[in-house]
Amino acid sequence: MSDHTRAQRPEAAPFTERTPRVVAARRLTRRPGRDRAEQFLAEGAQAVREALVWSAAGRGRVHELFVTDTAAERNRSIVDSALEAGVRINAITDKAAAGLSETVTPQGLLAVCDPVDVPLETALRGTPRLVAVLHGVTDPGNAGTVVRVADATGADAVIFAGDTVDPHNGKCVRASTGSVFHLPIARARDAAEVFEACRTAGLALVAADGYATDDLDTADQRGDLAHPTAWVFGSEAHGLPDTVIADLDTSLKVPIYGAAESLNLATAAAVCLYASAKALRRKD
């Protein structure tokens, strides 16, 4: 690690897996630890880069970086950006990096960040036109991918409703490839509260349901997708409960033209969100 980087911390030797700061950071790999500390870990060059931009914009704070010598050499521009922002840089051993990582191949670069989620009313303020609601989604990879898709489609927010995975879960953050730092994310255990807030914001609540009578093609032909919409997605294993679907304004399925039995959650969400985004842009 460069002398410039080491100058931020007087200790000559890198932190090990037993160093108290590393031990404290390792607690952030579990939800109870994240909730207590009100912090989470973002791992990898893309996530850390986006976290620093997010912090510079005043939307949250990056508290410190943990970086191995190899990762520091590979990501000099990121480390320099952190130094310029006054972020504490901690040199760590490869073994310490492995303890902080939730991947098979640790990237050796991690940031300790403030939570990204905002209050529900903040996420829906203004005149949102496209929102993704994850209801009961427990797979972090799927959830993170939906956040990434929502970001790519220009959605206004992603809302985690009910008993849903933590958006700060390490796998969720990695699957989002930095998108958790780009658009408003809100969490609410009361799904009814989420649905009411979406309606108040002028959004139609549409369930993504493989058993729906109508499909995206029919809805698009009618012009339904050109209206402000909150798409509600359920878990991959069980979909949305019938009681939830009954509370929504309508339900639509993705048409299957081939022999596939169904689409997985993230793929179906991508199709639905892009269909709405295209209809909204066409209307503009």
- From first to last of its 284 residues, the chain has per-residue pLDDT tens of 544 444 454 446 899 999 999 999 999 999 999 999 999 999 999 999 999 999 999 999 999 999 999 999 999 999 999 999 999 999 999 999 999 998 888 999 999 999 999 999 999 999 999 999 999 999 999 999 999 999 999 999 999 999 999 999 999 999 999 999 999 999 999 999 999 999 999 999 999 999 999 999 999 999 999 999 999 999 988 899 999 999 999 999 999 999 998 899 999 999 999 999 999 999 87
Contact 202, 126 (CB under 8 A): no
Are 95 and 65 contained in the same domain?
A: yes
Tokens matching residue 177: 């490839």
The two tokens of residue 221 are: 């032909």
Shared domain for 106 and 124, answered yes or no, is no
The half-sphere exposure of 221 on its side-chain side, counting CA atoms within 13 A, is: 5
CATH number at residue 21: 3.30.1330.30
Query: Do 152 and 212 sit in the same domain of this protein?
Result: yes
Same domain? 71 vs 189? no
Distance in angstroms (rounded) separating the CA atoms of residues 6 and 135: 45
Q: What range defines the domain where residue 92 resides?
A: 3-113
**CA gap 169, 151 in Å, rounded:** 18
